[in-house]
Homo-oligomer: A and B are copies of this chain.
Amino acid sequence: MALVVIGGVAAGMSAAARARRLDAGLEIVVLEKGPVISYGACGLPYFVEGRVRDPSQLIVYTPEYFRKQRNIDVRTGARVISIAHSRRELVLEEGGRVRYSRLIVATGARADMQAVAGARQPHVFPLQTLDDAVRMHRFLTEPRAQGPPRRAVVIGAGYIGVEAADALRRNGLRVTILERSDHALGRNDPPFTLAVRRVLEEHGVELRCGIAVEAIEADHVAGVPCDMVVLAAGFKPNVELAAEAGIELGRSGAIRTTDRMETSVPGIYAAGDCAEVTHLVTGRPVYLPLGTTANKAGRVAGANAAGGRERFAGIVGTSIVGIFGTAFASTGLSAEQARAEGFDPVAARIEARARPSYFEGAMTTVELVADRATRRLLGGSVIGDRDAAGRINVIATALTAHLTVDDFEQLDLAYAPPFSTVWDPLLIAAQQLGKM
């Protein structure tokens, strides 16, 4: 009987591909409710911006590819409405049933349209599926009687929100971001949020924090006039199918998993934006939906569902976003988050040149956070140019390996003038923190 995967984007397709690699003879079926599979959701803002010319550029593989090259039966437009686990059977909306022996739930997440009144109006756009992006792009570019939209409100200052704001601003719109919490990019870290705010404001985007949007009106949101709205908040894991089938959810509301990516129901695995993973800094389950994690956890789910024995150790919560050319990267815990998790954190934040001035080295900001008693690193952030990616990845690797600030201070990092300074900003931050 078949291994069936519900969901054909990052986690689902990674799982299916990995299962095929481990078992050439296994019957594998992927049921995707949407019209396309395996698209790069993280590229959607760049299609809205106009940098990606054709949405097909964001599609990594087609169903035909998987059918022909990998012998995986991919069915699009196939929405599962119930998991009847006692019969090992899925019920499809269109009426059919699909039997399985092993099941992988990779149902993803959604912007919660129910939470905000007026979210279904034609000038309101989530930015999650390829369809959403195509609809938004059309709204921006197709001739309309009232002319092109001129003012946008983006609800939510997470990654998708700020990327959408950047894309819309580059299309000439005035943009205001409304954020419920008092911080941007999901990181409780006041100086980090301040830096985000500065870059947004320098480029004419307004960020208002502490605004809980309850309704979207035809021509304004919370008093901010606008003719289009991006709904980039209230991201929710799609867990209803799993919950109804008796699969346990974690405290985050996403599906609880073991390090084999198995759910509370043996033989049913979950991965991607619907599932929890382990945070390697706290050791606790966490819901941090990202494409990178979906791919890795999906691979492990696929391997184990195909009879393998693999383990997904977990994540450290690394992310990066480009806002008008400045990179904002973070990993692990901010000092505030560390305190909330029961650590006694110490932090050091430094500004230093990323490269010598004769190689156009601009200033970069590095913050490192460590636990006072054990001196173990707990997190960090980097704000700068493109090199911020490499620097945050060094911190992420150090967190994974549980390095102390003292270990970190002596890391043998590459240096030559086109690339860095002889004391890399990471090491300067560690020296500063090491004095704690």
Contact = CB atoms under 8 A, between A and B. Distances in A.
A386 interface: yes
Q: Indicate the member of A316, A396, A403, A413 with the most B CB atoms within 10 Å.
A: A413
Given A57-B358, A422-B295, A42 B331 contact: no
Interface stretch (A85-93, A145-153, A265-273, A319-327): A319-327
A234 interface: no
Given A46-B358, A410-B296, A397 B387 contact: no
A414 B319 contact: yes
Given A52-B358, A390-B387, A407 B416 contact: no
B329 A414 contact: yes
A125 interface: no
Interface stretch (A99-107, A285-293, A340-348): A285-293
Contact of A356 (B43, B319, B321): B43
A290 B415 contact: yes
Contacts of A290: 415
B416 A322 contact: yes
Contacts of A413: 292, 318, 393, 396
Interface in A399-436: 400-401, 403, 407, 410-420, 422-424
Nearest to A382: B414
A37 interface: no
Contact of A422 (B291, B314, B400): B291
A396 B390 CA distance: 12
Contact of A320 (B52, B312, B415): B415
> How many residues of A sit at the interface, in one of the four size bands?
35 or more
A22 to B, nearest CB: 11
A221 interface: no
A291 B415 contact: yes
- Among A43, A357, A414, the one with the most B-chain Cβ atoms within 10 Å of its Cβ is A414
Contacts of A400: 401, 403, 407, 411-412
A40 interface: yes
Nearest to A423: B295
A389 interface: yes
Contacts of A386: 386-387, 418-419
A394 interface: yes
Nearest to A291: B422
A10 interface: yes
Contacts of A30: none
